[in-house]
Amino acid sequence: MGDILKEKIRDFACGIGLPIFGVTSPAPMECLEPLLKKRRNLKLDSPFEKNWQAEKRCRPKTSFPWAKSILCFGMPYWKRGEENREKIFARYALGRDYHFVMKDKLTKVGEFIKQLVGEDFKYRICVDSFPLAERALAYRAGVGWYGKNCLLYNPEYGSWFFLGELIINIPLEEDKPLDGNGCSGCEVCINACPTGALKEPYILDARKCISCMTQSPGFIPFNIREKLGYRVYGCDVCQEVCPQNGAGAEKSPLFHTGEEIVPKLLELLNITEEQFREKYSGTVLCWAGRSIIRRNASVALGNTGGRELVPLIKKHLYDEDPLVRAHTAWAVGKLGGLGSAEFLRKAWERERDSDVKRQMENTLNLT
């Protein structure tokens, strides 16, 4: 019955757009726990990990004592070698928010299983919603192998897929991790990372990762801003250059001309709350929020090198949003040109937010 049920689940999931599937147990991931604690101690973790304790992430039964199996699914979102024409957004941000899409599909899988096994069947859906080490679970379930960029690679879809899990109260036969990986001696991703966030194979400093920085609240560190290039949300560089992902389809946004990008960046910087919700509702950009996106757009504009943009963005030195004021100041200083230093000095004199004022001071010292 178990093998038959497992194959029925696999077939059903594949039919609704979840072609990647594996099963693991809720047993503790004891090898992972000390690694997560070490990351925290070395300050390599991201701001989003603060309240997710290593013990809970590595011990599924802490949150789900009734669990007997964990079904791991992958939903592909990009084709290997296909070009991303949007440039300023990572590929995963271009469609509907994957949390919603994956949860809808996993709900269908859960209800399908319930029809097969009866009303006593119990399940919970996890898509970035519980303190679970989802990537480690998927690896253990044979979904993929670890790349040196710390992403999971599936033999057929590369790293271009989302993860989601069903925690269930019936036991199914576990799958085994995949043997080996495709990295071998390749370190292209490590060498290509714009900020050096990939410190060494399989070690990521999340506080330097552009993808993390463009999502995190607060002020972007000064030493990261120039390296963001034109990116407004996310970063695909370590995936774009990877031979396993069909590398060579395009250059990084850092090297594109700004002709097609600048109008989009100006639109994002000037966007109203109503316009933002109308255009980006149901996407991960809406999850990040208008403030974060406008902050990032101002930095990206500063990286275009177009001094003619200063008159177009200087009004945001007095924007209602302190994040936008601070990062527009950096952009004006970075672009330079006639009058930019004076614009900054006047904005600094009028600024009442002490944190923003300090950011402006740092910018003035750099100009």
Q: Which residues are catalytic?
A: 128
Q: Can you tell me the distance from the alpha carbon of 77 to that of 160, in angstroms, rounded to the nearest whole number?
A: 6
Confirm if 160 and 246 have CB atoms less than 8 A apart. no
Q: What tokens appear for 367 in the block?
A: 């100009």
Residue 162: which H helix or E strand, with range? strand 161-168
Q: Can you tell me the distance from the alpha carbon of 185 to that of 42, in angstroms, rounded to the nearest whole number?
A: 26
The type of residue at 322 is P
Return the closest-CA partner of residue 301 out of 210, 217, 232. Answer: 232
Confirm if 27 and 81 have CB atoms less than 8 A apart. no
How many CA atoms does the CB half-sphere of 107 hold within 13 Å? 6
Confirm if 296 and 212 have CB atoms less than 8 A apart. no
Q: What tokens appear for 295 in the block?
A: 């902050």
Confirm if 190 and 198 have CB atoms less than 8 A apart. yes
Confirm if 165 and 193 have CB atoms less than 8 A apart. no
Q: Can you tell me the distance from the alpha carbon of 50 to that of 345, in angstroms, rounded to the nearest whole number?
A: 37
Q: Can you tell me the distance from the alpha carbon of 192 to that of 198, in angstroms, rounded to the nearest whole number?
A: 9
Confirm if 292 and 215 have CB atoms less than 8 A apart. yes
Secondary structure (3-state) at 76: strand
